[in-house]
């Protein structure tokens, strides 16, 4: 078998598992977000600030993916919510079967939100559905405003762009309106929030977006139960 049909077969198997996961998440009204960015853009920092803002009883869990180490799980476990590390051992993205395996032991009926940090990479994670309600792409101002044009697939597929590290704007040559225009050239109408996980600036906008999406998932579940 040559490479293209094999790749297609792997992707369609992934789509099958992801569709089953999505149906389970919808059945329980769980909002699942798939966070994608280059290494170092601030996915874990955004999750740290997010978990920090949640009240103790919040029904949230986190899966965090990396090629090696469980450093991110250790950073995130400090907040007292369930966290598991997915170590891919070389694979440059998470896939639906990894998510399915790592859900074992968690009761989905106990969750309202599942946050998934993908492996740091703007390319491969765009091709793998994890059964999420939405992909969120994080881009930091240290990476250059041209990235949406260079890696259009992920900017097209993500529902939200989190522009992180805006505290660094005085120190780096990054044209924020050009970055926004580039993102919206690839994805017209794309929602964008500008944040600093260091200073906390803009985080309220991100948390409001998340809260709205959480309500949407719960309303969708209630509507499905009624019909």
In a 3-state reduction of DSSP, which class is residue 58? coil
The interface partner of residue 213, options being ligand GDP, Mg ion, none and the CB cut-off 5 to 8 Å by kind, is: none
Name which of 36 and 183 has its Cβ closer to ligand GDP.
36
44 lines the binding site for Mg ion (CB under 5 A): yes
The interface partner of residue 182, options being ligand GDP, Mg ion, none and the CB cut-off 5 to 8 Å by kind, is: none
Strand ranges, E, within the chain: 31-37, 60-66, 83-87, 113-117, 134-140, 160-164, 191-194
Give Cβ neighbours of residue 117 (< 8 Å, ≥ 6 apart).
Answer: 35, 43, 44, 47, 62, 63, 64, 65, 72
**Strand order across the 60-66 sheet:** 83-87, 60-66, 113-117, 31-37, 134-140, 160-164, 191-194
Name which of 170 and 188 has its Cβ closer to ligand GDP.
170
41 lines the binding site for ligand GDP (CB under 6 A): yes
47 lines the binding site for Mg ion (CB under 5 A): no
Ordered DSSP codes for 171-210: TS---HHHHHHHHHHHSTT-EEEE--TTT-TTHHHHHHHH
Residue count, binding to ligand GDP (CB under 6 A): 16
Between CA 58 and CA 56 the distance in angstroms is 6
- For residues 62 to 101, the per-residue mask of contacts with ligand GDP, x marking binding by CB under 6 A and - elsewhere, is ----------------------------------------
49 lines the binding site for ligand GDP (CB under 6 A): no
Minimum distance, C-beta of residue 43 to ligand GDP, in the bound complex (Å): 4
Name which of 16 and 171 has its Cβ closer to ligand GDP.
171
Stretch that binds Mg ion, among 18-26, 44-52, 104-112, 187-195 (CB under 5 A): 44-52
For the segment 190-209, give every residue that binds ligand GDP (CB under 6 A). 196-198
Binding positions for ligand GDP, rule: CB under 6 A: 37, 39-45, 120, 164-165, 167-168, 196-198
């Amino acid at each position: 078998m040559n490479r293209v049909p094999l790749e297609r077969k792997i992707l369609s198997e992934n789509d099958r598992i992801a569709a089953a996961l999505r149906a389970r998440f919808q059945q329980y009204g769980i909002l699942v977000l798939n966070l994608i960015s280059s290494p170092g853009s601030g996915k874990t920092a955004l999750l740290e600030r997010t978990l920090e803002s949640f009240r103790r009883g919040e029904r949230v869990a986190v899966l965090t993916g990396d090629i090696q180490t469980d450093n991110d799980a250790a950073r995130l476990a400090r907040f007292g919510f369930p966290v598991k590390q997915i170590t891919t051992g070389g694979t440059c993205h998470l896939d639906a079967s990894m998510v399915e395996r790592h859900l074992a032991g968690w009761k989905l009926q106990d969750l309202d939100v599942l946050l998934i940090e993908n492996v740091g990479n703007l390319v491969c994670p765009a091709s793998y559905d994890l059964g999420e309600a939405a992909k969120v792409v994080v881009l930091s101002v240290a990476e250059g405003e041209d990235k949406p044009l260079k890696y259009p697939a992920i900017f097209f597929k993500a529902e939200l762009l989190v522009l992180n590290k805006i505290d660094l704007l005085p120190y780096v040559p990054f044209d924020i309106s050009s970055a926004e225009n580039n993102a919206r050239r690839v994805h017209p109408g794309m929602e964008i929030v500008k944040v600093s996980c260091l200073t906390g600036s803009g985080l309220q906008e991100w948390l409001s977006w998340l809260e709205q999406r959480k309500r949407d998932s719960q309303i969708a579940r209630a509507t499905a139960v009624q019909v």
